[in-house]
Amino acid sequence: MKILGIETSCDETAAAVVENGVKILSSAVASSAEMHAKTGGVIPEAAARAQVVSILPVLQEALSDAKCGMEKIDAIATTVGPGLVGSLLVGVESAKTLAYLYRKPIVPVNHLVAHIYANWLVESAPEFPAMVLVVSGGHTDLVLMQAHSTLEWLGGTRDDAAGEAFDKSARLLGLSYPGGPAIAAAAKDFKFPNSNFQLKLFPRPMMDEHNFDFSFSGLKTAVWRATQDKGLKISTEQLAAEVQEAIVDVLITKTLRAVREFRPKSLLLAGGVSANTRLREAFESKIKNLKLEVDFRVPPPKLCTDNAAYIAACAYFCHFPVAWESLETKPDLSISGQV
Ligand code: KG4
Ligand code: ZN
């Protein structure tokens, strides 16, 4: 079954063709991040206008790379939220138009649930139950997944998301947008004075509370204070490393607490922040040190940040649970126009 995925929730315009939920036949992404870098963050109106410019070339690229015309597509999956409304509309209206023209079913997809499905776009599928940490620009959530479409929300951020903490701290430190990769790059350049040197300048909010919630707004304030303190002689590289370490510490501590409590078979990371090398490596070494028996998975960095391949994968696993090929008579799924 071939699904055309469309993703336009923020500043990436993406389309992809995915076969049977796991095989990426094509994945095209156009980003307007460079434009937003000039303003230090996303301006929703500007992002929506960039979506309009990119959507047709991106759709054409995805179909042509997959060597597949619309007639060979079985369904169209599109992000319907959460996201910026102007940006979302571009993807939804494009999906509706294609569905109407080619008489294809539309599958509405939740962007955050879809992020998790980047973990299925690899060789072997993770086993259930799975504990999932979704860390993106706008969300930080811990979710227990018993099966496809069976998700239990355990907790999430009470204020800023982890990605937002990266982005806003980067801005305070005079680093570029998006802040996550900029902080990671600056932190990499920090030379530790000695092997006992610990990065502990910033607070680890809610880390020791026995719940699965997060809070990152205080961290942002602490970074702001550090930038205002003229007596603090600390390099930008060290401040970046300190911010990264504080975020990574909290995410890992709370997630592994959930793993110890719920004993899932797999632990999955999802969302743009899971592209962070320090986070990935620290998770791996902590799991090893604590001898936790859990299959730790994190998608390749390119699949962590926004793309449409996981939108198509999510639609396949959550909306077409019966193996499509095994059906002798394909049901008429034409719901074109009804999103
Ligand atoms: O999932 P995503 O691409 O878009 C949303 O759904 O929000 O996540 C974007 C977020 C941004 O906050 C960005 O700074 C962060 O992911 N990010 C990173 C890295 N790459 C992207 N954060 C830390 N380290 C990275 N390497
Ligand atoms: Zn995202």
The answer to whether residues 292 and 309 belong to one domain is no
Judge whether 156 and 213 are in contact, CB under 8 Å: yes
Q: What gap in Å lies between CA 184 and CA 62, rounded to an integer? A: 30
Q: Tell me whether residue 337 is in a domain.
A: no
Q: What are the tokens at 281?
A: 């490596």
The minimum-distance atom of ligand 1 relative to the CA of 177 is: 14
Residue 252 dihedral angles phi and psi, to the nearest 5°: -70, -45
Claim to verify: residue 312 and residue 230 sit in the same structural domain: no
Q: Which of 271, 277, 295 is nearest to 118 (CA)?
A: 271
- Predicted confidence at residue 320, as pLDDT, reads 74
Task: Render each residue's pLDDT in the chain as its tens digit; 339 residues.
Answer: 999 999 999 999 999 999 999 999 999 999 999 999 999 889 999 999 999 999 999 999 999 999 999 999 999 999 999 999 999 999 999 999 999 999 999 999 999 999 999 999 998 999 999 999 999 999 999 999 999 989 999 999 999 999 999 999 999 999 999 999 999 999 999 999 898 898 999 999 999 999 999 999 999 999 999 999 999 999 999 999 999 999 999 999 999 999 999 999 999 999 999 999 999 999 999 999 999 999 999 999 999 999 999 999 999 999 875 555 555 665 554 444 333
CATH (domain of 185) = 3.30.420.40
Do 101 and 161 lie in one domain? The reply is: no
Question: Is the domain of 159 the same as that of 10?
Answer: no
pLDDT score, position 40: 87
CB under 5 Å of ion ligand 2: residues: 136, 306
Does residue 334 sit within a domain? no
**309 and 284 inside one domain:** no
Could you tell me if 49 and 81 lie in one domain? yes
- Whether residues 196 and 294 share a domain: the answer is yes
In this structure, the answer to whether residues 112 and 154 fall within a common structural domain is no
What is the number of structural domains in the chain?
2
One domain for residues 85 and 218 = no
Residue 34 backbone zone (phi > 0: left; psi -120 to 50: alpha; other: beta): alpha
- φ, ψ at 317 (rounded to 5°): -75, -30
Nearest CA to ligand 1 atom 10: 137
Using N-to-C axis directions, what is the helix angle for 179-188 and 277-289, rounded to 10°? 70
Same domain for 87 and 129: no
Distance (Å, whole) CA 208 – CA 248: 14
* Pairing, β 106-110 against β 75-81: parallel
Mutate to test the pocket of ligand 1, among 136, 173, 298, 304 (most ligand atoms within 8 A of CB): 136
Ligand 1 atom 13: residue of nearest CA = 180
**Token match 């315009």: residue?**
13
- Nearest CA-CA partner of 135 in 307, 312, 315, 298: 298
SS percent in the chain: helix, strand, coil, step 5: 45, 20, 35
Does residue 39 lie within any of the structural domains? yes
Is 41 part of any domain? yes
**What CA–CA distance (Å, rounded) separates 141 from 212?**
9
Is 276 within 8 Å of 284 (Cβ atoms)? no
How much is the pLDDT for 325? 53
**Does residue 287 come out as left (phi exceeding 0), alpha (psi in the -120 to 50 range) or beta?**
alpha
Measured in angstroms, how far is the CA atom of residue 192 from the centroid of ligand 2? 33
- Is the residue at 333 inside a domain? no
Query: Ligand 1 atom 2: the closest Cα is on which residue?
Result: 272
Q: Where are the alpha helices (DSSP H) in 81-216?
A: 85-102, 111-116, 162-172, 179-188
Spatial separation of the C-alpha atoms in residues 95 and 90, rounded to whole Å: 9
Cβ atoms 18, 314 nearer than 8 A: no
- Continuous segment of H or E residues that includes residue 150: strand 150-156
Q: What is the pLDDT of residue 123?
A: 86
Tokens 């929730």: give the residue: 9
62 and 175 in a single domain? The answer is no
Q: Is 339 contained in some domain? A: no
Coil/strand/helix, residue 339: coil
The residues, ordered by sequence, that sit 6+ positions from 9 with a Cβ below 8 Å of its Cβ are 79, 81, 82, 83, 84, 87, 88, 91, 111, 306
C-alpha–C-alpha distance, residues 314 and 307, integer Å: 12
**Domain annotation covers residue 263:** yes
Identify how many contiguous H helices and E strands the chain contains and give both numbers.
11, 10
The Cα angle at residue 21 between residues 155 and 329, in degrees rounded to 5:
120
Q: Say yes or no: 135 and 248 in one domain.
A: yes
| 111 lies in some domain | yes
Decide whether any atom of ligand 1 lies within 6 Å of the 21 Cβ.
no
Residue ranges making up the domain that contains 227: 125-298
